[in-house]
Amino acid sequence: MSVRVGVVLFPGSNRDIDAINGLTVAGAEPVILWHEQADLDGVSAILLPGGFAYGDYLRAGVIARFSPVMRSVAAFAGRGGPVLGICNGFQVLAEAGLVPGALLRNRGLRFVCRQVSLRAEHLDTPFTRELAGAGPLRMPVAHGEGCYFADDATLDALEADGRVLWRYVGEDGEVAAPDERANPNGSLRGIAGVRNAAGNVAGLMPHPETAVESILGSDDGLGILRSLVVSAREYAQTGELSGVRAAAAVAAS
Amino acid sequence: MSAYRFAVNVTPKPGILDPQGRAVERSLPHLGIEGVSAVRVGRRVELTVDADDEAAARAVVETLASELLSNPLIEAYRVERAADAAAVGS
């Protein structure tokens, strides 16, 4: 039985079709969740796709945060459901405070659209569990505000807590510093994606959903979407997720 | 109820990378301008609030400035009265 995974559609989303295709290739049944609906239609995971929600007015992602669907997404995340935000979806999650940090204007000021290499930092999470054995992952970025920022204390805590999930790496496989070309936006400590304290909500700037078939130039992104779909299936069947922490443990930390 | 006009000035916090400010700064020599430094680019939002008094209106502005107009992780804001603009109403 295929599992239902929601794709949130804001006015200005433009990677929703790619997300739907990627989830389909990964074995899920995608379900569009319109931004004005509060009902999540029985989905077992949620993907926030890329684009320019509400025109990115004011700050990327901020106005989307106040939409009816996002209140339901926040509640779903609070119940432990898996949520993945990609690109603009990451910006929405960051503005909503569902994942730590902020995405600043790219250090080079330009919109950057090209292939990058990523390294998954942990393979025991709901978003990386199908990446075992994979080398650096090739997939595109396409954004103007993707420079990951958090203060040093927060960055230290994220690293110590295993919450940095993906980093930009150079051809040598080493983490790309903010001023290196392999780091497309100047992200601190090469961070391309992070997750929340509980571990069930993650955001990343690059686009795994447009790297799911070799005809697209890379299928390295498929493992991330398959991880989400496996997690959705697990959450649908058990109401829980592997690789996350109980709410009580998070509250105590 | 009266109408109160405010302005909210949002700027990147100290220490936060501001590539826009840096780009502006680097352009200045092309204009033959020297001696300008620490350029920071922010945003100014003007708005009118209907409220019983200025304190109530300011409280509304403070709320929306902190909840919506700025991201407290990276931006600071300052609220000021923008007195005479209220009559314009547009």
Q: What CATH code is carried by the domain that includes residue A69?
A: 3.40.50.880
- Per-residue model confidence as pLDDT tens digits over A49-69: 999 998 888 989 999 999 999
Contact of A61 with chain B, judged by CB distance below 8 Å, is answered with: no
User: Three-class SS of residue A201?
Assistant: strand
Question: Is A134 or B83 the better-scoring residue by pLDDT?
Answer: A134
- Per-residue model confidence as pLDDT tens digits over A173-217: 999 999 999 999 999 999 999 999 999 999 999 999 999 999 999
Indicate the residue type of A131.
Answer: L
B68 with A95: Cβ contact below 8 A: no
Question: What CATH code is carried by the domain that includes residue B7?
Answer: 3.30.1280.10
Q: Which residues span the domain enclosing B57?
A: 2-16+42-85
Shortest Cα distance from B4 to chain A (angstroms)? Answer: 22
Determine, yes or no, domain membership for B30.
no
d(CA A99, CA A73): 13
Sequence-distant (≥ 6) Cβ neighbours of residue A35 within 8 angstroms: A8, A9, A10, A11, A53, A64, A67, A68, A69, A70
Q: Which residues span the domain enclosing A67?
A: 3-252
Element spanning A5, H or E = strand A3-9
**What is the structure's pLDDT at A77?**
97
Q: With cut-offs at 50, 70 and 90, classify the pLDDT of residue A250.
A: low
**Number of independent structural domains in chain A:** 1
User: Residues B40, B17, A10, CA angle at the centre, nearest 5°?
Assistant: 95
Nearest in space to A138 (alpha carbons), one of A203, A206, A85: A206
**What is the structure's pLDDT at B41?**
95
**Number of independent structural domains in chain B:** 1
> What tokens does A145 get?
């505000």
pLDDT (tens, 9 = 90+) of chain B, 90 residues, equals 899 999 999 999 998 989 889 999 999 999 999 999 999 999 999 999 999 999 999 999 999 999 999 999 999 999 999 975 545 544
Report helix angle A222-238 to A16-25, nearest 10.
70
Residues of B with a Cβ under 8 Å from any A Cβ are 16-17, 19-20, 23, 68-69, 71, 73-74
Q: Following DSSP, what letter does each residue of A160-173 receive, concatenated?
A: HTT-EEEEEB-TTS
What is the chain B residue with the closest CA to A185? B19
Say if residues B61 and B79 touch (Cβ distance below 8 Å). Answer: yes
Strand locations in chain B, DSSP E?
2-12, 43-51, 75-81
Q: Which of A171, A207, A213, A240 is catalytic?
A: A207
| Chain A residues 163-182 within an 8 A CB cutoff of chain B | none
Q: What residues of chain B lie within 8 A of the CB of A58, using their CB? A: 68-69
Determine, yes or no, domain membership for B59.
yes
Entry field: residues in chain A: 253
pLDDT at A253 over 80: no
